[in-house]
Structure 1
Amino acid sequence: MSSHRPFGLPAAVSAAVLLLAVAGCSSSDAAASVEVPSPPAAEAAFCQALAKELPDTVSGLERSDPEPGSELTAGWGDGAIVLRCGVPRPEKMSDPKAQGIEANGVNWMLERPAGSGPRFTTTYRKTYVEVTLDERYAHDMTPLADLADPVRKTVPNSL
Structure 2
Amino acid sequence: MSSHRPFGLPASAAAAVVLLVAVAGCSSPDAKASVPVPRPQAAEAAVCRALAKELPDTVAGLERTGTEPDSELTAAWGDAAIVLRCGVPRPEKMNDPQAQGVDADGVNWLFEPREGDGPRFTTTYRKAYVEVTLDERYAHDVAPLVGLAAPVKKAVPSSL
TM-score by length of 2: 0.79
Q: How many residues align?
A: 130
Give the match for residue 116 of structure 2: 115
**SS at 2:65's partner residue?**
coil
2-structure distance, mates of 1:31, 1:155: 25
Distance, in Å, in 1 between the alignment partners of 2:125 and 2:146 is 17
Aligned to 1:18: none
Provide the rounded CA distance (Å) in 2 between the counterparts of 1:56 and 1:106: 20
Q: TM-score if structure 1 supplies the norm length?
A: 0.79
Deviations 1:85-112 (CA, angstroms, capped at 9, x unpaired): 0000000000000001000000000001
SS of the residue 1:109 aligns to: strand
After TM superposition, give the deviation of residue 139 of structure 1 in Å.
1.1
- Please identify the structure whose Cα radius of gyration is greater: 2
Whole-angstrom distance in 2 between the partners of 1:78 and 1:85: 18
Matches within 5 A, 1:46-125: 46-125=47-126
Residue identity matched to 2:78:
G
Point out where structure 2 has 5 or more consecutive residues left out of the alignment: 1-30
- Quick one: which amino acid aligns to residue 145 of structure 2? L
Q: Partners of 1:49 and 1:111 in 2: how far apart?
A: 26
Following superposition, the deviation at residue 31 of structure 1 comes to 6.1
Identity within the alignment, %: 75
- Find the counterpart in structure 1 of residue 136 from structure 2: 135
Distance across 2 between alignment mates of 1:114 and 1:39: 27
Unaligned runs of 5+ in 1: 1-29
1:44 aligns with 2:12: no
Which amino acid counterpart does residue 118 of structure 1 have in structure 2? P
**Greater RCO, 1 or 2 (C-alpha within 8 Å, sep 6+):** 1
In the TM superposition, what are the counterparts of 1:28-43 in structure 2 within 5 Å? 32-43=33-44
Q: Classify 1:90/1:48 alpha carbon distance in 2 versus 1 (closer, same or farther; 3 Å).
A: same
SS at match of 1:126: coil
| 2:117 counterpart letter in structure 1 | S
User: What residue number does 2:158 align with?
Assistant: 157
Q: 1 or 2, which has the higher helix percentage? A: 2
Helix, strand or coil at the partner of 2:37: coil
Deviation readout 1:34-79 (Å, 9 max, x if unpaired):
1100000000000000000000000010000221110000000010
